[in-house]
Amino acid sequence: MAIASDTDPEHEDLAVTLARFSSALTLDDLPADAIATAKADVFDTLACAAAGSTARGIGELRDLAVEWGGAPQATVFGFGDKVPAHHAAWVNGAMSHARDYDDTHDAAVLHAGVSIIPAALAAAELRSGAAGRDFLPAVAAGLEVMCRLGVATQIGIVESGYMYSSLFGYFGSTVAAGRVLGLDETEMLNAIGIAYSQVAGNHQVTRDGALTKRMQPGFAAKAALVSVQMAKRGIRGVHSTFEGLDGFLRVYLHNRCDRAVLRADLGKRYEFAQLSFKPYPCCRFNHTAIDAALVLRASAGLRPDAIRRIRIGVNRQAYEAVSTPIAVRKVPQTIVHAQFSLPFTVAAALVDGHVGLGHFSDEGIRRKDILALASRIDPFVDEEIERQWGRSVTPANLHVEMEDGSAHILRIDYPLGHPDRPMRTEDFDAKAADCFRAAVKPLPQGAAMGLRERVNGMESLDDVRELVRVLDPTA
């Protein structure tokens, strides 16, 4: 389909459509499954933030925000400092993503909540409070914008070179923060255009094992708070943000985007209701292989010392993201490299029977028993999986060869936490309790359950700042 020109009266830019949708969305417009998913994402994201408060690099970001000072507008999760709203959104977004434990959309291949929810909460604090029934549609609007961009995109993250969690997060978090602040349609359109002037987020961070991998969604959340406040003061951004001659779809996605998907049933069918949630704190591309390893460990009684070799078939983007260069993935030198290592995470699952926060620490990534098994794990591109699942989070085809000559083969298509294989409420609560124990400052016993109660009753919550106070040890 040809791109509409900047002055074509026959077409409105997608930014206009999204501004109208997001500024007008109310709780009554949302179906039950969308409300349930938005609540689940708020709960899960804030739990992940608690664990992320002790992750490497987050303390340094918090120290910078405090050092810079400024108006005490919003709270740094876990630490309790009051800083300008855009700085709080920045640190909190990075914190929420730091453990790589946060939500995914398995078809869009992105994390959604880690920029949107910190931005929306910073906006709520900036305006001195927001009711739950206004906050939920703001989160829903942001999630929907981001997930639709993701599923409509036809170029993978390895080929494009962009991480879509941050790239699309600029727009999703801007829409969410703008809805919390009550931007009208024109102001929202300007905010989206202002955000476009700041969009970034590269895939090189995972190749290099850089700490900035976890910080890119925070940059998106920060830009959102800047953009909506500028728009509120009447500053004009571009209006042909997506489909203009130099719009986002051409410049960033090389026009490899299904424009019909972006608009189809908008406001009637909610793509973000297909969000997945993670049982393991590492890249989602690892999860189907971890699932298969745990199943075989339990069903076949696999002992690591009896395994000769493991081959794991995945799609090409997963192979590139979590299996190359293979020497780095078999012996990860940084925590980020371990989070993005198929050999390391599968070895951890087979050795310990689980994959948890402790595996992604300075001590965890140097464990000789895990590294010994990782050295015998060889991923490869499975051509059948590539043909059928090339753009999505990958299935995994696990081939385990034993020293006695026997073999075990298992393929899993959908990872645990996907809507077709959902986590149970008790799984979420156990994960949250584990995350809260890792918080930078001790939180009261029962804090995770306190968060659960507030999120479950969000429609009647007078002020969503109560969610932030659950993570604030000074409250």
Distance CA 52, CA 40 (A): 18
How many separate helices (H) and strands (E) can be counted in the chain? 24, 6
User: What does pTM read for this prediction?
Assistant: 0.94
* pLDDT of the residue at 391: 84
Give the strand order in the sheet containing 407-412: 377-381, 307-314, 396-402, 407-412
- Which pLDDT tens digits describe the chain residue by residue (475 residues)? 333 434 444 579 999 999 999 999 999 999 999 999 999 999 999 999 999 999 999 999 999 999 999 999 999 999 999 999 999 999 999 999 999 999 999 999 999 999 999 999 999 999 999 999 999 999 999 999 999 999 999 999 999 999 999 999 999 999 999 999 999 999 999 999 999 999 999 999 999 999 999 999 999 999 999 999 999 999 999 999 999 999 999 999 999 999 999 999 999 999 999 999 999 999 999 999 999 999 999 999 899 999 999 999 999 999 999 999 999 999 999 999 999 999 999 999 999 999 999 999 999 999 999 999 999 999 999 999 999 998 889 999 999 999 999 999 999 999 999 999 999 999 999 899 999 999 999 998 889 999 999 999 999 999 999 999 999 877 7
Q: Which domains does the chain have, with CATH numbers?
A: 14-274 (1.10.4100.10), 284-412 (3.30.1330.120)
* pLDDT of the residue at 7: 40
* pLDDT of the residue at 189: 98
* pLDDT of the residue at 364: 97
* pLDDT of the residue at 445: 85
Backbone angles phi, psi at 117, to 5 degrees: -70, -45
* pLDDT of the residue at 161: 96
| Largest Cα–Cα separation, the chain | 73
* pLDDT of the residue at 10: 52
Closest by CA position to 329, among listed 348, 308, 353? 348
